[in-house]
Structure formats: C-alpha cells, structure tokens
Amino acid sequence: MSDDAMIPLLTEIRDLLRQQLELTQQTVGHQQQSMINQTQALANQQAATERAVKSQERWAEISEQLRRQESRPPALIRCAHAALSAL
C-alpha cells in the first residue's frame, strides 16, 4: 500500500482513537459521579436510620413514663387520701 493510501487510514485511526479516549473519559467521569451519588445516598440512609432509632428510643421512654404513671394513683385520689389522713 502506498503512503498516499495510508494517510487517510492513519488519520481515521487517529480520529477513532481520539473519540475512544473522549468516550473513556466521559465514562470515567460518569462513574465518579455515580460513586459520589451512591456515597451521598448511603450517608442519607444512615442519617435516616439514626433518626429512626432515636425516635424509637424516645417512644420507648414515653411509653415507660406512661406505664409508670398508670401504676400510680391519679393526683386527685392522692390529694383525697392525704386530706383523709390529716383528719
């Protein structure tokens, strides 16, 4: 093959290699952004889980307080009992 015939082929190969490089760089950029997004999603999920745990702990505390209050006589009965005891 003559040099004149090789020049267009070599030029096309060069252009195709440049396109391949650009597409590879785009792919790497997309993969990096995807990893950033996944990291953020995991951080958001962890924060949501921590909030849910804190919420459950708070509900458990409230439930325990209510249970304790139910085991004590109401304030009116305590006052009446104190008044009767004073007689």
Is the predicted pLDDT of residue 22 greater than 90, yes or no? Answer: yes
pLDDT at 77: 65
Q: Which tens digit of pLDDT belongs to each residue from 30-39?
A: 999 999 999 9
Asked if pLDDT for residue 72 goes beyond 80, the answer is no
Give the alpha-carbon dihedral of 23, 28, 34, 35, to 10 degrees: 170
pLDDT at 27: 98
Give the domain ranges of the chain: 3-86
Q: What is the pLDDT of residue 76?
A: 64
- Side-chain-side CA neighbours of residue 70 (13 Å): 6
